[in-house]
Amino acid sequence: MNFASNLSDALWRRPRLTLALMLAPPLLWLGIIYLGSLFALLAQSFFSIDEFSGLIRYEWTLKTYGELLRPANLDIILRTVSMAAAVTLASALIAFPIAYYAARYARGKWKALFYLGVMLPLWSSYLVKVYAWKLILAKEGILTWLFAKLHLTWLLDAWLALPLIGGNSLSVSYTGTFLVFVYVWLPYMILPTQAALERVPGSMLEASADLGGSPAQTFRHVLLPLALPGIIAGSIFTFSLTLGDYIIPQIIGSSRLFIGQAVYAHQGTAGNIPLAAAFTVVPIVIMGFYLWMAKRKGAFDAL
């Protein structure tokens, strides 16, 4: 009997110890590195910054949260949440027909092609995709050229002339930010929606038709309620990813800040770590509430 077989025998006799040894490293990692840093961040938000010296005062206070609720900062929060909501809604609308096709009709080769088509953009660099979109959306870009070729320049101009969502060109407007967000997060909406639709038996839809339900009624009363957990699961991704992103609005969009950019600015140049921390708490709270709602709707059964 050598040492290794003695050890494996000893572990075999103590399955609980084996499990503990196996789980300890990942749990320590999760506990210290992940949750630890999160709590450190949370703690930072209850400190404040001395306005004259610019140094952090390590005293418990809600002063930073008071600062967070200033109109300018509330604007940033509102802007980010509205964008996240719009991106989520648009992703759901675009994803549904694609997911429906994949779940109901695609078989064999076509199904493989579907997965490839959905996953392929995820395999290329995020930054490359965003810069590629900057070129597409720029004033001298492909889209402007395409609109000109189709004699639709007037339409593009009319759109860009709209208040709020318009701008000098698509690449510096909220419309551009929105389009790129939808493009980048769409796969995260398609896959869970498809998984949910896959689990709806065909006989369920036939039963609805059999009982007099037109296709629209079947969609509303049977298909949508049964797919909803999957759509909510997808929306958790699109919503939270949009809430936290600071690169896309930095590269494409107007100069007005999103939460991610505000965090970046405050912890960097401004050196206001407590306010940056308070800003990061916002998406955490929003997502906490969102996840709680989603759990009640049974969204996690579809993951």
Partner 1 sequence: MRTAVAFSNVSRHFGAVRAVDGVDLEIAEGEFFAMLGPSGSGKTTCLRLIAGFEQPTSGHIEIFGETAEGVPPYRRSVNTVFQDYALFPHLSVADNVAYGPMIRGVAKAERLKAAEEALALVRLPGFGHRRPSQLSGGQRQRVALARALINKPKVLLLDEPLGALDLKLREHMQDELKVLQRTLGITFVFVTHDQGEALSMADRVAVFNHGRIVQIGSPEDIYQRPRTRFVADFVGSSNILPPDYTKAFGGGANWASLRPEAMRIVATEGAAMTGKITGLRYLGAGTRVTVETGVVPPTDERGAPLHEMAPLLVVQVPAGQPVPAEGELVGLVCAPADLHAMAER
Q: Which stretch binds partner 1 (CB under 8 A): 72-80, 172-180, 202-210, 278-286?
A: 202-210
Among 214, 271, 288, 301, binds partner 1 (CB under 8 A): 214
Residue pointed to by tokens 């949009």: 242
Count, residues near partner 1 per rule CB under 8 A: 17
Among 97, 201, 268, 288, binds partner 1 (CB under 8 A): 201
Q: Which stretch binds partner 1 (CB under 8 A): 14-22, 158-166, 199-207, 259-267?
A: 199-207
- Contact at 8 Å (CB) between 267 and 279? no
300 binds partner 1 (CB under 8 A): no
Which lies closer to partner 1 via its Cβ, residue 225 or residue 271? 225
56: left (phi over 0), alpha (psi -120 to 50) or beta: beta
- H or E element in which residue 254 lies: none
What is the smallest separation between the CB atom of 106 and partner 1, expressed in angstroms?
Answer: 18
Within a 10 A sphere around the Cβ of 207, how many other Cβ atoms? 13
Among 9, 157, 206, 301, binds partner 1 (CB under 8 A): 206
Within a 10 A sphere around the Cβ of 59, how many other Cβ atoms? 9
Among 221, 268, 271, 288, binds partner 1 (CB under 8 A): 221
Among 43, 113, 217, 300, binds partner 1 (CB under 8 A): 217
- Contact at 8 Å (CB) between 179 and 137? yes
Largest CA distance in the chain: 85
Which lies closer to partner 1 via its Cβ, residue 163 or residue 202? 202
Residues contacting 250, CB < 8 A, separation 6+: 261
Among 2, 5, 53, 203, binds partner 1 (CB under 8 A): 203
Separation of alpha carbons 192 and 190, rounded Å: 6
Among 87, 137, 180, 222, binds partner 1 (CB under 8 A): 222
- Contact at 8 Å (CB) between 231 and 297? no
Residue pointed to by tokens 């953009």: 121
295 binds partner 1 (CB under 8 A): no
Residues contacting 62, CB < 8 A, separation 6+: 46
Angle 18-21-22 from CA coordinates, rounded to 5°? 85
97 binds partner 1 (CB under 8 A): no
Q: Which stretch binds partner 1 (CB under 8 A): 165-173, 187-195, 211-219, 250-258?
A: 211-219
Which lies closer to partner 1 via its Cβ, residue 148 or residue 204? 204
Interacting residues toward partner 1 by CB under 8 A: 201, 203-204, 206-214, 217, 221-222, 225-226
